[in-house]
Amino acid sequence: MAEVAHHYDEKMPLEYRTEESRLNILGFWIFLGAEVALFATLFATYLVLFQRTGHGPTAMELFKVKEVMIETLLLLTSSFTCGLAIHEMRRNRLKGLLTWLIITLLLGAGFITFEIREFIDYVHEGATIQTSAFLSSFFVLVGTHGAHVSLGIGWMILIIIQLLQRGFTPRTARKVFIVSLYWHFLDVVWIFIFTLVYLTGMVI
C-alpha cells in the first residue's frame, strides 16, 4: 500500500521517487517473469508442432524474407527510440520525450501493419490457422506477440495523453518507465520469434 505516497526521495530518478512507484515497478518486473513463462510455453508448443504440417505448406514454403526483415527493422528501431524517450525523460525534457514516444508508437504501428499484411498473404495462399498444427501454433505464437504490441500502442497513447495533461509527475514518469520495460520485452520476444520461427523455418 502506498503508505508514504508523498515522501519524495530527490536523489532517485523521478519514476522511483515514491514508494508506490517502486512497488509498481518491481511488480511489473515480476509480471514480465510471468510473461516469459507464457511465451516460453507458446514457443515450446510451436517447436513441438512445427514440423507437423499435415496437408498444409511447410515453413520453408511459406515464409517471406522481405516482409519479415522489414518488420524486424521497424520493431528493433522502435525499441531504440523508446530508449531515447526514457533518456529524454531523465533529462526532464517533456517535448523530447513526447516526440520519441510518438515515433516509437508509429514504428510499432508500422510493424503491426506489415504483420497483418503478412498474415493476410498467408491466408490468401491457403495457409490459415485451421490448416495444420504447424500453422495453428505459428499464428497463435506470432499473433500473441502482435496482440501484445497492439496493446502496448493503445497503452502508450493513454500515457501520452496523460503526459500532455499533467506533465512530469512521479506517476506519469513511472508509467512511461513501465511501458518502456514492456516495449523492450516485446522486442526481446520478437528476436526469439525471428530466429526460432523465421530463420529456422527458412533453413529446415
Give contact residues for other proteins (rule: CB under 8 A).
1-6, 22-24, 26-27, 30-31, 33-35, 37-38, 41-42, 45, 48-49, 52-56, 129-137, 140, 155, 158-159, 162, 171, 175
* CA 80/CA 59 separation, integer angstroms: 30
* CA 163/CA 141 separation, integer angstroms: 33
Please, what is the minimum distance in Å from the beta carbon of residue 9 to other proteins? Answer: 15
Contact 50, 134 (CB under 8 A): yes
Closer to other proteins by CB, 150 or 200: give it.
150
Closer to other proteins by CB, 6 or 87: give it.
6
Please, what is the minimum distance in Å from the beta carbon of residue 101 to other proteins? Answer: 15
Please, what is the minimum distance in Å from the beta carbon of residue 54 to other proteins? Answer: 4
Contact 198, 48 (CB under 8 A): no
- Write out 150-174 in H/E/C secondary structure: HHHHHHHHHHHHHHHHHCCCHHHHH
Closer to other proteins by CB, 18 or 79: give it.
18
Please, what is the minimum distance in Å from the beta carbon of residue 37 to other proteins? Answer: 4
Contact 45, 137 (CB under 8 A): yes
Please, what is the minimum distance in Å from the beta carbon of residue 202 to other proteins? Answer: 20
Closer to other proteins by CB, 37 or 203: give it.
37
Closer to other proteins by CB, 62 or 74: give it.
62
